[in-house]
Amino acid sequence: METINYINNTYHDDIKQDVQSGLTASQKFIPSKYFYDARGSALFEKICGLPEYYPTRTELSILRDVAPSIMHYSRQGDIVELGAGSNRKIRTLLDIVPKNKLSNIRYIPVDVSEAALEASLEELLKMYPGLKLTAIVADFTRHLEMIPCGREKLFVFFGSTIGNFNEDEGDVFLKSVAGSMGKGDRFLLGIDMLKPRDILEGAYNDSSGITAEFNKNILNVLNRDLGADFNLEHFHHRAVFNAEKERIEMYLQANVDVAVEISSLGLTVELEEGENILTEICRKFTKDSVDRMAFNAGLNVTKWFSDPKGWVSLVEMEA
């Protein structure tokens, strides 16, 4: 097992720049990638098991059904998982590989959370003897060129994480994926499809409050890494569906007037009661919008898999 870290050298400069620009914008925002410290990653795993949060279990059910048509294990190749987090989805693919063929596969998870990667890989080592593992601690929006070359690749991007980008950002990211793909490479993209408002909003406003805790934890990250003094009790979790933009928008809403000092930036951030900090967008898609997005990136849709309700899709593409 090998772990390569491309984050340590740039993380502090990156978060300073991102938070400076985000919290001085007219609509204040914090990039959602800063959710995923060790605690945030653990909270997200809890979210994935909540009854209201349909995307994970639905995507897993599709994977179980279609894994045989996705996996090519008779020849050597890599599985590159972007934004890997836990290993539950990749295990669904690996479970169908005969033990004597595991040595043909190198699994390359890419994630910003080193703690999550280490826990995942330790488990995989025990479950799949012979599997080659190379973990990359990196921001997949910036470090795709660091992924090892020379073998046929299946890129996987699960969880409809593509929805966390706005349209322009999504186009840039998919173009970078397409540019990283060679002949014979494939890209498997998880998509959360457009559906009624009550289902969407319910998934991000769970009754047990785990999503609210996850959302507020991003302030703990800023307190720890930038010397900020956010009081989490001064903010409410808020997640609403924006029908015009076809996306969930997740906010931290100030419940009192707030003045926050961020010592690493020499910055004071003031919010009035009721003012929002945008922490995440989650775009939802139609088949037409996915086809258009793929076309814009220079990708060709080759296979389309969905659950019976059409709530979630897995889309295989080639460059």
- What are the tokens at 19? 């938070």
Residue 3 is assigned to a structural domain of this protein: no
| Contact assessment for residue 191 and residue 313, using Cβ atoms and an 8 Å cutoff | yes
Regarding whether 210 and 70 lie in a shared domain, the answer is: no
Q: Give CA separation, 14 vs 20, 119, 139, 228, 291, in Å.
A: 10, 25, 10, 16, 33
Q: How far apart are CA 312 and CA 44, in angstroms?
A: 19
| Residues of the chain scoring pLDDT < 70 | 9
Considering the entire predicted model, what is its pTM? 0.93
What DSSP designation does 35 have?
G
Q: Which pLDDT score, from 0 to 100, does residue 138 have?
A: 86
For the residues of 113-138, what is the DSSP string, one character each? -HHHHHHHHHHHHHHSTT-EEEEEES
Coil, strand or helix at 26: coil
Q: Which pLDDT score, from 0 to 100, does residue 112 have?
A: 83
Name which of 269, 306, 302 is nearest 285 in CA terms: 306
Regarding whether 224 and 118 lie in a shared domain, the answer is: no
Residue 1 is assigned to a structural domain of this protein: no
Regarding whether 292 and 170 lie in a shared domain, the answer is: yes
Look up residue 35 and give its amino acid.
Answer: F
Q: How far apart are CA 155 and CA 151, in angstroms?
A: 12
Q: Which pLDDT score, from 0 to 100, does residue 239 have?
A: 98
Regarding whether 243 and 140 lie in a shared domain, the answer is: no
Residue 90 is assigned to a structural domain of this protein: yes
Q: Which pLDDT score, from 0 to 100, does residue 252 have?
A: 98
| Contact assessment for residue 199 and residue 169, using Cβ atoms and an 8 Å cutoff | no
How many domains in the chain?
A: 2
Regarding whether 115 and 201 lie in a shared domain, the answer is: no
Regarding whether 293 and 146 lie in a shared domain, the answer is: yes
Regarding whether 187 and 254 lie in a shared domain, the answer is: no
| Contact assessment for residue 160 and residue 194, using Cβ atoms and an 8 Å cutoff | no
Q: Which pLDDT score, from 0 to 100, does residue 156 have?
A: 97
Q: How far apart are CA 24 and CA 207, in angstroms?
A: 33
Q: How far apart are CA 18 and CA 34, in angstroms?
A: 10
Regarding whether 267 and 201 lie in a shared domain, the answer is: yes
Q: 309: exposed, middle or buried (C-beta count within 10 Å: 0-12, 13-18, 19+)?
A: exposed
- Which domain range does residue 110 map to? 54-196+285-318
Look up residue 69 and give its amino acid.
Answer: S
Q: 25: exposed, middle or buried (C-beta count within 10 Å: 0-12, 13-18, 19+)?
A: exposed
Residue 295 is assigned to a structural domain of this protein: yes
Regarding whether 292 and 153 lie in a shared domain, the answer is: yes
- CATH classification of the domain holding 135: 3.40.50.150
Q: What is the pLDDT of the chain when averaged over all its residues?
A: 94
CB-side exposure of 91: number of CA atoms within 13 Å? 13
* 231-242 exposure pattern, b = at least 16 Cβ within 10 A, e = fewer: eeebbebbbbbe
Regarding whether 174 and 138 lie in a shared domain, the answer is: yes
Regarding whether 208 and 82 lie in a shared domain, the answer is: no
Q: Which pLDDT score, from 0 to 100, does residue 46 have?
A: 96
Query: What does the longest C-alpha to C-alpha distance in the chain come to?
Result: 62
Look up residue 5 and give its amino acid.
Answer: N
Q: Which pLDDT score, from 0 to 100, does residue 38 have?
A: 87
Beta strand extents in 6-56 (DSSP E only): none
Residue 180 is assigned to a structural domain of this protein: yes
- Alpha helices (H) in the chain, listed in sequence order: 11-23, 38-48, 54-70, 88-94, 114-127, 167-180, 197-203, 210-226, 287-297
Q: Which pLDDT score, from 0 to 100, does residue 286 have?
A: 97
Regarding whether 159 and 98 lie in a shared domain, the answer is: yes
Residue 80 is assigned to a structural domain of this protein: yes
Residue 43 is assigned to a structural domain of this protein: no
Q: Which pLDDT score, from 0 to 100, does residue 113 have?
A: 81
Q: How far apart are CA 282 and CA 69, in angstroms?
A: 28
Block residue for tokens 């994970």: 56
Number of neighbours of residue 301 by Cβ within 10 angstroms: 17
Residue 46 is assigned to a structural domain of this protein: no
Q: How far apart are CA 279 and CA 171, in angstroms?
A: 20
